[in-house]
Amino acid sequence: MSNKNKTISFRVSEAKFETLREIAEERDISLSAVFRDYVDMLVDHSGKVEVVPEHELNGGEEGDDDSFPPTVEVPKAFVREHERLELEADHLREQLEEYRRYVTKLREEVDGDEEVIMLEDLDGDEEDSESAYRIGEFEETL
């Protein structure tokens, strides 16, 4: 795809054109730059841009604080707590990964090196085991 600039035409009344020219002169930019900024703002905000006179924007008659884009003040304590929780979550993720590696290592040791010996296999002959060891009985030999 080519990256060519396209031309956009605007049709405004003569009074609005003069107002736009005054705005451009106040800001010491060209009239086309005013339109480019407006179009860029439209694109950045998905077409949700409202053009209002500056006196209405800075404490207009209605007194509402609805500005675009909306802003919210967040207390520093909230930001610090959020950062602390992010650090703690990272630490817990690292610990979890360390424990997983340790468990994997232990499983490999159990599976690879040692054979499992069942207690029943250690019993051997029942006759010998009954005479040699008895649970709960004590035999004293003199």
**pLDDT tens digits for range 3-50:** 777 777 778 888 888 888 888 888 888 888 888 887 888 888 877 777
pLDDT value for 63 = 47
The three-point CA angle 11-17-20 to 5° equals 120
Percent of the chain with pLDDT over 70: 70
Q: How many residues does the chain have?
A: 142
pLDDT band for 138, please (50, 70, 90 cuts): low
More confident: 77 or 119: 77
Nearest to 87 by CA among 99, 75, 79, 98: 79
What are the angstrom distances between the C-alpha of 120 and each of 21, 65, 114, 134, 139?
99, 81, 18, 16, 25
Average confidence (pLDDT) over 123-134: 56
Q: Averaging pLDDT over each range in 78-82, 108-112, 128-132, which range is the top one?
A: 78-82
**What is the gyration radius of the CA atoms in the chain, in angstroms?**
40
pLDDT value for 120 = 75
